[in-house]
Amino acid sequence: MGETTYMEQELRSQPETWRAAAKIGSGDTPLPAAGARVAVVGCGTSWFMAQSYAALRERAGLGVTDAFAASEAFLGEARGYDAVVAITRSGTTTEVLRVLETVRGRIPTVTVLGDPDTPATSLSDETVALPFADERSVVQTRFATSALALLRAHLGEDLAGPVSEAEAALADPLTQEWLDAEQFTFLGTGWTFGLANEAALKMREASQSWTESYPAMEYRHGPIAIAAPGRVTWLFGAAPEGLEGEVAATGAQFVCHDRDPLADLVLVHRVALERARVRGLDPDSPRSLTRSVMLDG
Ligand code: F1P
């Protein structure tokens, strides 16, 4: 085992930060009420949490909810949004700030952020700050999952089960096959597709691993051609019928745990960290990445 990294300390604190975030989410918050038409925006990890929230909210019957990468958001009058929710750990990501500026005075905004002392606060009508979940590592773990814990609690979910399952995921043994695997494909359905995208990004960022992600049913439409011995197909949530057998037939390892999918993401955080370690990489300072992307002009 190498020295302790910020990433390790931060990912290990997730049960605690989820509890704190869920408490805020289940209380009085400026997050959109049931029935509102909502656009959710973010970049990178924060975009993927936006995808999960959007699927959960809309499938719960709480209102139309669309997730956009902040740079690709359609927020014109015709779409009739009642609220924009922005997610950003840093509060400085340029594309998110541009969205907040663009809709200012036209669509009410609420930003979920890690560092409240940033431009996102003054550009937002309302904020929900999670400073206890902010991070030193460039690679996000606990801010993103705590933001989603907050949003799940706001939608009426009890996070007690997921919190204890995250504790269990922190104690699970890591399989050697996961540390050696040549390639990972992450799959999900509904809200867990955002988690699959995030798992794939985490492994790329922290350990420069070759990863892909797809909606589970889409996987059969071509991407399964990549599955082979020495590679892993990891599904978040319930498996569509027949998928496990199809993956097994390729020789790839099929992984699907019977636990809350957000807690299963904690296990992927650990795999990403260990793969970084065995490759001699510093997951706190990944290649070509900074804490937040701030563009000129
Ligand atoms: C978003 C983000 C991160 C990514 C990278 C650059 O940051 O895209 O997800 O890992 O470090 O920034 P933020 O808007 O949530 O601060």
Phi and psi at residue 193, in whole multiples of 5°?
Answer: -65, -40
How do residues 230-248 score in pLDDT, each as one tens digit?
999 999 999 999 999 999 9
Q: How high is the mean pLDDT of the chain?
A: 97
Neighbours of 192 (CB within 10 A): 27
For 20, residues 6+ apart whose C-beta sits below 8 A from its C-beta are 130, 132, 133, 146
What CATH number belongs to 161-278?
3.40.50.10490
CA distance 290 to 259: 32
Mean pLDDT of 180-193: 98
pLDDT above 90 for 1: no
CA–centroid distance, 251 to ligand 1, in Å, is: 35
Nearest to 79 by CA among 124, 40, 105: 40
Ligand 1 atom showing the smallest separation from residue 286 Cα: 11
| Architecture field, domain 6-158 | 3-Layer(aba) Sandwich (3.40)
CA distance 254 to 252: 6
CA–centroid distance, 293 to ligand 1, in Å, is: 7
Confidence of residue 267 (pLDDT cuts 50, 70, 90): very high
Instruction: Give the CA-trace dihedral at 141, 286, 197, 57, to 10 degrees.
Output: 40
pLDDT above 60 for 141: yes
For 105, residues 6+ apart whose C-beta sits below 8 A from its C-beta are none
Pocket of ligand 1 (CB under 6 A): 43-46, 88-90, 93, 96, 138, 140, 205, 289, 291-293
Atom 10 of ligand 1: nearest residue by CA position: 139
Equal CATH topology for 6-158 and 161-278: yes
Mean pLDDT of 277-283: 95
What are the boundaries of each domain within the chain? 6-158, 161-278
Nearest to 8 by CA among 217, 295, 273, 235: 273
Question: Which pLDDT score, from 0 to 100, does residue 3 have?
Answer: 62
Q: Which two tokens stand for residue 154?
A: 């706001």
Query: Of the residues 10, 71, 90, which should be mutated to test ligand 1's pocket, given the most ligand atoms within 8 Å of the CB?
Result: 90
How do residues 91-120 score in pLDDT, each as one tens digit?
999 999 999 999 999 999 999 999 999 999
Total residue length of the chain = 297
pTM over 0.95: yes
CA–centroid distance, 245 to ligand 1, in Å, is: 36
pLDDT above 60 for 127: yes
CA distance 89 to 82: 23
